[in-house]
Structure 1
Amino acid sequence: MTDSLQTRPTATTFDLEKLLGEAWAGRLRIPHFQREFRWDRQDVIRLFDSIVRGYPVGSLLLWSRPAASQLLKLGQLEIEAPATNEALWVVDGQQRLTSLANVLHPDGANDPRFRIAYDLRAREFSLRPHSQDPWVVPLPVIFDLQRLLRWFAEHPELTEHLDEATSLARKIRQFSVPAYLVKHDEVAVLQDIFDRMNNYGKRLRRAEVFSALYAGDENSHESNLTIDGIANAISGGLGFGLLDSNTVLQGVLARRGPDVARDLRVEFSNHERRGVFDFRGEDRDTAFAAGARALERAVVFLREEVGVPHVSLLAYRYLLVVMTRFFAHHPEPSRRSRVLLARWYWREAVRGPLTGRGSVMSTVRALCAKVRSDDEAASVSALVDAADTPPGGLRAPTLTRFRTNSAETKILLSAWWSIGPRSPITGQRYGHSQLSSFLGDSPTAASASPQVVPRRSLKEEHQDWAANRVLLPDEAVPVNELDSCLAVRPGEVTPDTWRLVLRSHGLTNETERLLLEERWDDFIESRTEVLQDDAARFVAERCAWDSEAPED
């Protein structure tokens, strides 16, 4: 039985201004057994809306104990945290604290979930636009009185709203956050409290359970030998975006054995069952390091040879898990194997999880089982054989329903990327680094696929069509004037280059004319014909159903 607390928790409150001062100074720490950040932008906006309304936002549970100096990662913030005898470790309240610390700090805006502003016209919190709008004030400006006064001095047209803005700033800075302080020497006690508090609400994901089971001592592991550390390393080092924790975990598990749904409690115990693990007797750090290397090889292959430049364009996450197992056992496959593996990806993307009769987990197990550690050629052949022609024949992505979180739209966006979209301002082709920088860790490509014309300008039947979207990872392009940008050639762009720009976005002289004439629905129908041909050609070429495999 876990020891009881020597002293009862102390109840206290923090003004938000003081609490964030502690966070930015590195006194607030996140224990290694904590779950990853789970909130989305709407959760963050609701938190700030509750604060200005004076609603309670819940209390924090803080663990008072010493902490060594470290480079602390808190959301998008990197903080040089000094050693201290009285650090405050966040046992409960991480989502709220991470949101507050990032939204109100200038560096937090690198993550779109934290790029929040206050719209003086609408009197509500909203996403901060890429281009400056004086009426939409970033929250770091609201929080800093000196910056707020400079903002209004630079924009005199806002003067009558100064009292409203300063009142908002005061409500945020002076908001009281209740907290309980716990003092105890044993980490097991805090893990027990964490476990009990998380028995309610959202269930822990398998990756969170795994991280808690194999957390070890606070300073026993390198920062990248964790689920989140592997994900962050791939995001920062390869520019592929942030993989979700369960995909990373499944990649680590798939390397060691095909059943990624196996019992986590015996993963590194002495009770490993014969035939379940390919790497018997491994410790946690060895498995994590090798799994990270295999994931990285799979991501590079996806980006460079398959044509999936960012995680937001990955049709199904389980395909990366299977590839991770393949590259773990065959790190340098032959040319023939690489060609076939790329074909397998596109065939599975078009088919969907049919191998496991529609169940994703069953599909992962079945496909991972086809990867043999002792035979590269047999492994890739088995995968390709499993991806036979889908029922009803080959079908290109639909263009009448554009949803950036759907596999069909991700395939379509990959097809657009393969054409090489160009800037309608400079005529230059966008590169992977620009796409990666623009999307960051966004899980979808919604921000990079704006509407050409306002949705309300179209007939209802055309409002969700893909022909009203373009792949445009460029903050310099004014998306509220996108129809004009794609219809009028800039003077510095030559006619020949402009034709390349139009073609790179599935546009023709006819669609350009329809845009100029503001015949929006005719534009949608005309461009759809071009996009349908491009999508069908892309799928046929990448799947190569009737092609022979190349010789080595």
Structure 2
Amino acid sequence: MAITGEDDVQGARWTALADRVGQTLDGIVAQAEVALHRAVRFLRYEAGVPVAWLVPYPQQLMLLALFFHHRPDPDGAQSRALVRWFWSTSWSTVFVGNNAFHLRRALHQMRAHATGRAGLSSQGQYAQPLPDRFDTEDGRVRAFLLWELSHFGQRHGLDGEPIELVDLLARSGPAAYRRVVTGIRDASGIANRIVLPTPPGVPVRDALLDLPPSRLRTVAVSHGIPPAALARLLADDRDGFLRERTATLAGLEQEFIQETGAELAADESARENGP
């Protein structure tokens, strides 16, 4: 629908669209398929999205396909702008709830960017704080997971060998993210999940604590568990482990957000600059 020039891609009727495009419908479908392939290549190799279920919002894929339909071979500046746009929209709430007004405006902006008439605006796209709960239905959570995958690229398994992350995430989906500690009020926290296969029936915490000290440190660091959090884990301070790791991950992600030039949501700025 977007490739035909439709603005109301959510409310448009297929029969009306077919009447409007007539005999060219098959050609438009073929063009959309080619554009989708280009969008997927961009997401994988430039935006750093290794598997489809980690795309924060489906609207992003549609809008990227629209761009690559109009501009199959973007220049470097356009590609870098697309990457910034991808992250900015992933951290914000602009696509939450399928807001028709925001989507229509995004369609106009993307067409203008593709044709060189205007740049991509981040107006109103404020980066939201790190969510409290691990919920992969939440686009902001998926944005965090994408950043974490990039920041902690090579994870080590219990044997000290690298984990094939992409294969594991493609095969297991969200179930690949397992809880480290249990039995605490905040066990559902986003910082209580890591991608670490263990033998059947063995909890992640027990598997970690059974490792020799030197290997434990190597494995823990590769999974984004800082020394302070590991010390809490070794002392069986489960709440302290979660606090330490949450603070570390939130701080590192916020540094990346600020490096991209994205604006923080008001409540996050207030938390950072409070008394």
- TM-score normalised according to structure 2 size: 0.82
In structure 1, the residue corresponding to 2:141 is in which secondary structure? helix
Aligned to 1:303: 44
Q: Distance in 2 between matches of 1:477 and 1:415?
A: 28
Q: Distance in 2 between matches of 1:286 and 1:500?
A: 54
Would the aligned equivalents of 2:39 and 2:64 in 1 still touch at CA under 8 Å?
yes
Aligned to 1:519: 237
Q: Which one has the bigger helix percentage?
A: 2
Would the aligned equivalents of 1:506 and 1:531 in 2 still touch at CA under 8 Å?
yes
Aligned to 1:463: 187
Displacement after TM superposition at 1:281 (Å) = 5.4
Would the aligned equivalents of 2:51 and 2:170 in 1 still touch at CA under 8 Å?
no
Displacement after TM superposition at 1:318 (Å) = 0.7
Aligned to 2:156: 423
- Give the 3 Å change call, closer, same or farther, for CA 294–515 of structure 1 in structure 2: same
Would the aligned equivalents of 1:448 and 1:471 in 2 still touch at CA under 8 Å?
yes
Structure 1 residue 352 and structure 2 residue 93: aligned?
yes
Aligned to 2:209: 487
Displacement after TM superposition at 1:422 (Å) = 1.0
Q: Deviations over 1:287-307 (max 9, x none)?
A: 222111111111121121112
1:409 counterpart (141, 147, 160): 141
Structure 1 residue 506 and structure 2 residue 247: aligned?
no
Aligned to 1:268: 18
Would the aligned equivalents of 1:325 and 1:371 in 2 still touch at CA under 8 Å?
yes
- Larger RCO (CA under 8 A, 6+ residues apart): 2
Identity of aligned residues (%): 26
Aligned to 2:167: 434
Displacement after TM superposition at 1:477 (Å) = 5.1
Matches for 1:73-472 after TM superposition, within 5 Å: 253-259=1-7, 260=9, 261-269=11-19, 272=20, 283-353=24-94, 359-372=98-111, 376-379=115-118, 381=119, 384-385=120-121, 387-388=122-123, 390=125, 394-398=127-131, 400-418=132-150, 419-431=152-164, 433-439=166-172, 445-454=173-182, 457-458=183-184, 460=185, 462-472=186-196
Would the aligned equivalents of 1:489 and 1:498 in 2 still touch at CA under 8 Å?
yes
Displacement after TM superposition at 1:453 (Å) = 1.9
- Code of the residue aligned with 2:52 in structure 1: it is V
- Give the 3 Å change call, closer, same or farther, for CA 432–327 of structure 1 in structure 2: farther
- Give the 3 Å change call, closer, same or farther, for CA 293–470 of structure 1 in structure 2: same
Would the aligned equivalents of 1:319 and 1:345 in 2 still touch at CA under 8 Å?
yes
- Code of the residue aligned with 2:247 in structure 1: it is E
- Give the 3 Å change call, closer, same or farther, for CA 498–264 of structure 1 in structure 2: same
Q: Deviations over 1:474-512 (max 9, x none)?
A: 4x5557321133334359xxx4x7655322322123322
Aligned to 1:5: none
Structure 1 residue 545 and structure 2 residue 262: aligned?
yes
- TM-score normalised according to structure 1 size: 0.43
- Give the 3 Å change call, closer, same or farther, for CA 344–258 of structure 1 in structure 2: farther
In structure 2, the residue corresponding to 1:268 is in which secondary structure? helix
Q: Deviations over 1:71-95 (max 9, x none)?
A: xxxxxxxxxxxxxxxxxxxxxxxxx
In structure 2, the residue corresponding to 1:256 is in which secondary structure? coil
Q: Deviations over 1:325-358 (max 9, x none)?
A: 001111111111111001001111222227x9x6
Would the aligned equivalents of 2:158 and 2:208 in 1 still touch at CA under 8 Å?
no
- Code of the residue aligned with 2:138 in structure 1: it is S
Would the aligned equivalents of 1:421 and 1:471 in 2 still touch at CA under 8 Å?
no
Displacement after TM superposition at 1:367 (Å) = 1.1
Total equivalences in the alignment: 260
Would the aligned equivalents of 1:420 and 1:429 in 2 still touch at CA under 8 Å?
no
In structure 1, the residue corresponding to 2:103 is in which secondary structure? helix
Displacement after TM superposition at 1:323 (Å) = 0.7
In structure 1, the residue corresponding to 2:204 is in which secondary structure? helix
Q: Deviations over 1:22-70 (max 9, x none)?
A: xxxxxxxxxxxxxxxxxxxxxxxxxxxxxxxxxxxxxxxxxxxxxxxxx
Would the aligned equivalents of 2:155 and 2:219 in 1 still touch at CA under 8 Å?
yes
RMSD value over aligned CA atoms?
2.8
Matches for 1:3-14 after TM superposition, within 5 Å: none
Task: Point out the structure with max Rg over C-alpha.
Answer: 1
Q: Deviations over 1:351-401 (max 9, x none)?
A: 2227x9x6433322221122337953335x1xx21x2254xx644423x22
Would the aligned equivalents of 1:396 and 1:535 in 2 still touch at CA under 8 Å?
no
- Code of the residue aligned with 1:297 in structure 2: it is R
Q: Distance in 2 between matches of 1:353 and 1:389?
A: 8
Matches for 1:46-85 after TM superposition, within 5 Å: none
Q: Which one has the bigger strand percentage?
A: 1
Matches for 1:35-46 after TM superposition, within 5 Å: none
- Give the 3 Å change call, closer, same or farther, for CA 537–427 of structure 1 in structure 2: farther
Would the aligned equivalents of 1:470 and 1:505 in 2 still touch at CA under 8 Å?
yes
- Stretches (4+) displaced over 6 A: none
- Give the 3 Å change call, closer, same or farther, for CA 436–471 of structure 1 in structure 2: closer
Displacement after TM superposition at 1:431 (Å) = 4.3
